[in-house]
Amino acid sequence: MQTLVVDHPLVAHKLTALRDARTDSPTFRRLADELVTLLAYEATRDVRVTDVTVDTPLAPAQGIRLARPVPLVVPILRAGLGMLDGMTRLLPTAEVGFLGMIRDESTLKAQTYATRLPEDLSGRQCYVLDPMLATGGTLAAAIEFLFGRGARDVTAICLLAAPEGIAYLDEAFRSGERPIRVVTAALDERLNENGYIVPGLGDAGDRLYGVV
């Protein structure tokens, strides 16, 4: 599994403000949105394209277009929803699916409460959005859904990742015939005893949606 930690001063600047406990929800939402657009630029370097020719006002020009089938973008509710606009700003023609998942805080296991995905994903590049890669349980379950429907490859875009979550995904998809990749703004130190990323940013869903 490839893990890309995007190293850019604008990413680091916005992430620092996002982490700050003093940052209010409206600002948190804006920063998350801006960060995702920066991460998505790196995460879509290998988006599939096809050759086309267009006519400029002066002459024909060789060009490229996104290949079909278009990529599928899947925000994992709740916190992933705060990343959707930042992603579709770069991929406005992508199809959007949804997964409603919640981590049982006593077992740290992910439960799925809503799935709105195309039945057949054969050949599709998929981008899964979830700000936090903590134990890896949520993303692993989400990625399994997509490969179960025939996805070609899956890229997870996260704001923060813990070493434990990276290791878990790496092990879960070790075989390699189901290619996955993680693109994140930072690799943090560890998980605490409650499965939260340290230093992290707290509970991403609560901070995005003003839950105090």
Chain residues 131-150 in contact with ligand URA, contact rule CB under 6 A: 132, 134
The nearer residue to ligand URA, 74 or 204, going by C-beta atoms, is: 204
The nearer residue to ligand PRP, 45 or 192, going by C-beta atoms, is: 192
**Shortest Å distance, C-beta 66 to ligand PRP:** 28
Residue 77: is it exposed, middle or buried by C-beta count within 10 angstroms (0-12/13-18/19+)?
middle
**Shortest Å distance, C-beta 197 to ligand URA:** 4
Chain residues 45-104 in contact with Mg ion, contact rule CB under 5 A: 79
Asked if 184 is part of the footprint of ligand PRP (rule: CB under 6 A), the reply reads no
Residue 175: is it exposed, middle or buried by C-beta count within 10 angstroms (0-12/13-18/19+)?
exposed
> Catalytic site residue 33?
no
Q: Single out the residue of 211, 209, 210, 212 nearest to residue 77, CA to CA.
A: 209
Q: Which of 16, 27, 50, 107 is catalytic?
A: 107
Chain residues 56-95 in contact with ligand URA, contact rule CB under 6 A: 79
Q: Which of 19, 44, 103, 181 is catalytic?
A: 103
- 103 contacts 165 by C-beta, under 8 angstroms: no
Which one of ligand PRP, ligand URA, Mg ion, none interacts with residue 98, CB within 5 to 8 A by kind? none
Per-residue mark of binding to ligand PRP, 35-74 (x: CB under 6 A)? ----------------------------------------
C-alpha 195/C-alpha 170 separation (Å) is 18
Is 88 annotated among the ligand-binding residues? no
> Catalytic site residue 107?
yes
Is 161 annotated among the ligand-binding residues? no
Residues that bind ligand URA (CB under 6 A): 79, 132, 134, 196-197, 200, 203-205
User: Which residues carry out catalysis?
Assistant: 103, 107, 203, 206
